[in-house]
Amino acid sequence: MDDAVAHAFPLEPSPEDMHRLVDQAMAYITAHIDSLPNQPAANTEGGAELARSLREDLPEQGQPYHKILEFLFQTAIPTSFNCAGPGYLAYVPGGGIFHAAVADLISNAVNRYVGVWAAAPGLAQLEANVVRWFCDIVGYPQSAGGFLTTGGSLANFSAIFTARRERLPDNFLSGTIYTSEQTHHSVQKAALLAGFPPHTIRAVPTDVHYRIRLTALQQQIETDRHSGQKPFLIVGNAGTTNTGAIDDLNALADVAQRESLWLHIDAAYGGFFMLTERGKSRLAGLQRADSITLDPHKGLFLPFGTGSLIVRDQDTLRRAHSGDAAAYLPSMQDDPDFIDFCQISPELSRDFRGLRIWLPFKLHGIEPFRQALEEKLDLAEWATAQLRTMTDIEIIAEPQLSIVAFRLKRPGFDTPALNQLNQRLLNAINSRKRVLLTGTLLGDQTEDVVGGQFVIRICALCFRTHYDRVEMCLEDIRAACREV
């Protein structure tokens, strides 16, 4: 492209300008990624002032590129949780493998449309392959299918919506949904979005391992049937956010089968541990679910914005999500070999998310992902063994996957005092900035503790977290225990 054209159409950079844009950004990106281990695990002080100072009017004029990059990398990005760094052991860590960023650059630059098969048959097939691989990972049959979402919340939403359409009449308000006390709050939100008022959602108590109590579930279903409600959906957990708890999935599938209920499993965090032998045995029964949420931006270390919903029978998604044919769209596929994602999901126009997963899988094969997940299971087990050797530390939830929950105990302290002590302990650990841990409230399953006990969680899931960082975490816990 000549200079005159580039000048007349600034939204169309020349090939040289494209190189310059990417090369200059790359210089910052590589320096940033290189420095991740030395960056604070979280650095949000001054965040409110920063955010206020950044309000601005719609820019009428452009700014030099280097200034924009400098601002992003020196001002905006550093004031944040270091979610992509090795010390991020908080919440459920994401990832951010670089190959996915390259895939996004490609897919955004070519900007093809994969929502409708006819618009990009080959690319739609690549995304369909990714979905098929996910179905294979959990052990689903050939009838299975699914689609990629922006995350677990939207996957849970489409699952509940599909279950509603499959199991309830249009007038569905007598339908009841069964979750556990430990189910992620996105499930309740998804149910609300799917039209279910809070009083139709049951939170069944859990046992000492934070798994749904099956007798309580069965009793609740019977009570609801007797009072004229229509139980239609159980949402099981394959790795809770609080402690990584895995419900007895085979038992849930038995209940669902006996009662003719839809079984959805929220495996947003835990599902990809099916790649490992330990995960497979702990998640036994997962493939019996009617639908499963899996989050590649958790268990496959992808950047935020990549979730998925898979179902045993793809036709259920089609019945729930397909609309009448629109005259302005290309015709949809009748051949079962080809998929129009817009017919089985809520979205029409969207990014080509499939490439973000397809490219790294093709480049590396699945083995490095499997090994990284094995490593996370090892890290959680090892951290637990180390915590056990520390005076006054009590393990509240053994790792069922890669989360361990613990607290500091002191003789004579009641629950409110212990909660305060552990909140101070958490602050003291995090103040060292080598790791970021988070706390949560857990009901004591053996005593009735009002409001719950405050516990500290270590969640190892970032692909950059290795033994050395967990060692630092343990050192900081020891030092913080002495301090408080």
Ligand X SMILES: Cc1ncc(COP(=O)(O)O)c(C=O)c1O
Site residues (CB under 6 A) for ligand X?
92, 151-153, 184, 186, 241, 266, 268-269, 295, 307
Instruction: Judge contact between 172 and 195, C-beta under 8 A.
Output: yes
Query: Positive or negative, the Cα torsion across 132, 135, 141, 143?
Result: negative
Instruction: Judge contact between 450 and 387, C-beta under 8 A.
Output: no
Backbone angles phi, psi at 71, to 5 degrees: -60, -45
Residue 37 or 443: which CB sits closer to ligand X?
Answer: 443
From residue 136, how far is each of 121, 131, 156, 285, 469 by CA, in Å?
A: 22, 9, 20, 14, 33
For the CB of residue 92, give the shortest distance to ligand X in the complex, in Å: 4
Helices then strands, each counted (H, E), the chain: 18, 13
For the CB of residue 226, give the shortest distance to ligand X in the complex, in Å: 31
For the CB of residue 4, give the shortest distance to ligand X in the complex, in Å: 47
For the CB of residue 464, give the shortest distance to ligand X in the complex, in Å: 18
**Count of CB atoms situated within 10 Å of the CB of 57:** 5
Residue 148 or 477: which CB sits closer to ligand X?
Answer: 148
The residues pairing with 245 across neighbouring beta strands, listed in sequence order, are none
For the CB of residue 250, give the shortest distance to ligand X in the complex, in Å: 19
Residue 123 or 397: which CB sits closer to ligand X?
Answer: 397
Residue 268 or 426: which CB sits closer to ligand X?
Answer: 268
- Look up residue 424 and give its two tokens: 């101070």
For the CB of residue 188, give the shortest distance to ligand X in the complex, in Å: 11
Q: Specify the amino acid at residue 348.
A: L
For the CB of residue 97, give the shortest distance to ligand X in the complex, in Å: 17
Alpha carbons 87 and 107: distance in angstroms, whole number = 31
For the CB of residue 162, give the shortest distance to ligand X in the complex, in Å: 16
Query: Positive or negative, the Cα torsion across 119, 103, 22, 43?
Result: positive
CA nearest 310: which of 113, 136, 103? Answer: 136
Query: Positive or negative, the Cα torsion across 256, 257, 263, 269?
Result: positive
CA nearest 465: which of 362, 357, 378, 360? Answer: 378
Residue 176 or 241: which CB sits closer to ligand X?
Answer: 241
Residue 104 or 266: which CB sits closer to ligand X?
Answer: 266
Alpha carbons 216 and 161: distance in angstroms, whole number = 25
Residue 41 or 268: which CB sits closer to ligand X?
Answer: 268
- Look up residue 217 and give its two tokens: 């579930």
Residue 418 or 459: which CB sits closer to ligand X?
Answer: 459
Alpha carbons 359 and 33: distance in angstroms, whole number = 20
Q: What is the CA radius of gyration of the chain?
A: 24
For the CB of residue 345, give the shortest distance to ligand X in the complex, in Å: 15
- Look up residue 258 and give its two tokens: 């006996």
For the CB of residue 262, give the shortest distance to ligand X in the complex, in Å: 17
Residue 95 or 151: which CB sits closer to ligand X?
Answer: 151
Q: Specify the amino acid at residue 35.
A: S
Residue 268 or 317: which CB sits closer to ligand X?
Answer: 268
